Every structure is written in C-alpha cells, then in structure tokens.
C-alpha cells in the first residue's frame, strides 16, 4: 500500500503552478515543539520518535501477515502566533508540529504496541510527547519547491500571491512536506511541498 499514490495530487504537485486542493481527514503521529529546526535537539528527537514508531509498526504488521505500507515523508506545521503566521527571519521563535501520516487501517492499539516496541529497542525521549490523531486540513493552496530549504521564501511568497489573486486568504498554519532526504540528495534537488490552508475572503 502506498498512500502517496492513493492521494497523488496531494503529494506530487507541480513545481511550475500553484493549485487549490481539498485535503481530507487523515491519521497522523504528531509531536509539538518550538525553536529553530536547524539547531533544535527537540526537533531531531521528534523525527527519531516518529520514524521509530512508524517503521516498527510497518514491520510488525508485515511480520504478522497484515498489510504492508510505505512509510510516508515527514511533514511539518510551522507558525509564530495564534493566527498561524510564520516569520522566516526569526526561526528561534517558531512553533512546530512534526508529523507522519499513518494508513487509515491503523488504530490506537496498533500504535500503542509499536510505541512500546520502539521504546524497548532504543531511547526515544520524544515518545512521551507523541500523540495519534485524525487531522483535516481542508481547503489549501500548494506548490512544489525544488531546492534548498533556506531558499524557500520566494516560493512561499509566490504561493501567497496566488492565494490573494484567487480570492482567498491564509487560514491556518504553514505546512511543509519533505519529499526528499537531505542526507542523500543534493540541496538543489530537494523537493518540498509548500502548503497553506486558505479560506474565501
């Protein structure tokens, strides 16, 4: 099972044109935190915990004869204030939610079992902060950014200009989906989906 194929439009947008999509309710593992993701130990520990449980879940289900699935890419919600605004100039005051989408057939019991197994294998401090919940983003604008994370601002500005031109306004937290692996890809080849929830003006 490959959830990226099931919702291909949501996980493979154009890098040339912005678009409006309606994002349905989906299941996620989530961990909240704050601070600059480039220097925050909490952010790195959150990623380790999310992937630790997700891969444990995948292999546990496969070993027991259950359905196999592809572990999804890391996603992040980013904001500075209650309105969901994001100031790119001061990452130290960012708040964030690191999250990994889970298949719809996974339930609380399966997550609890995978969490216990992951905890027994290695120290994952962020497990205590992790939660499993349904999340519906709804109407949103998105585009694919290709290049370094630090060079995203022109893409973000382009997305927000598109939102205004289409008669919408931002409504919610800045959302990024990291389709590339910075450990394996050159910075100029990294792919990041930049998404912004919207509502009609």
Task: State yes or no: pLDDT of 79 exceeds 70.
Answer: yes
What pLDDT does residue 107 have? Answer: 96
What pTM value is reported for the model? 0.94
Work out the angle at residue 135's Cα, subtended by the Cα atoms of residues 158 and 191, and round it to the nearest 5 degrees: 40
What pLDDT does residue 15 have? Answer: 96
Cβ neighbors of 79 (< 8 A, separation 6 or more) are 85, 86, 94, 95, 96, 173, 174
For the chain, domains (ranges, CATH) are 3-200 (3.20.80.10)
Instruction: With CA atoms as reference, report the closest residue to 26 among 109, 100, 121.
Output: 100
As a whole number, mean pLDDT of residues 63-87 equals 90
pLDDT in tens, 138-190: 999 999 999 999 999 999 999 999 999 999 999 999 999 999 887 788 889 99
Cβ neighbors of 73 (< 8 A, separation 6 or more) are 4, 11, 177, 178, 179
Which phi and psi (to 5°) does residue 21 adopt? -130, 160
Task: State yes or no: pLDDT of 74 exceeds 80.
Answer: yes
What pLDDT does residue 1 have? Answer: 63
Task: State yes or no: pLDDT of 5 exceeds 80.
Answer: no
Instruction: With CA atoms as reference, report the closest residue to 101 among 48, 51, 192, 28.
Output: 28
């Amino acid at each position: 099972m490959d959830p990226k194929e099931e919702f291909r439009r949501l996980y493979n947008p154009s890098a040339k044109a912005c678009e409006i999509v309606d994002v349905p309710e989906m299941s996620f593992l989530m961990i909240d935190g704050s601070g600059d993701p480039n220097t925050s130990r909490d952010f790195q520990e959150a990623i380790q915990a999310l992937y630790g449980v997700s891969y444990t879940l995948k292999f546990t289900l496969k070993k027991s004869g259950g359905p196999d699935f592809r572990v999804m890419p890391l996603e992040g919600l980013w904001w500075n204030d209650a309105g969901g605004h994001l100031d790119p100039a001061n990452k130290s005051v960012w708040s964030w939610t690191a999250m990994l989408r889970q298949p719809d057939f996974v339930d609380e019991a399966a997550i609890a079992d995978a969490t216990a197994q992951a905890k027994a294998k290695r120290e994952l401090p962020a497990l205590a902060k992790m939660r499993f919940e349904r999340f519906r983003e709804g109407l949103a604008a998105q585009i694919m950014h290709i290049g370094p994370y630090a060079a995203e601002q022109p893409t973000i500005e382009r997305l927000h200009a598109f939102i205004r031109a289409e008669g919408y306004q931002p409504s919610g937290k800045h959302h990024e989906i990291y389709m590339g692996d910075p450990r394996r890809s050159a910075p100029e080849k990294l792919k990041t989906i930049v998404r912004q929830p919207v509502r009609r003006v």
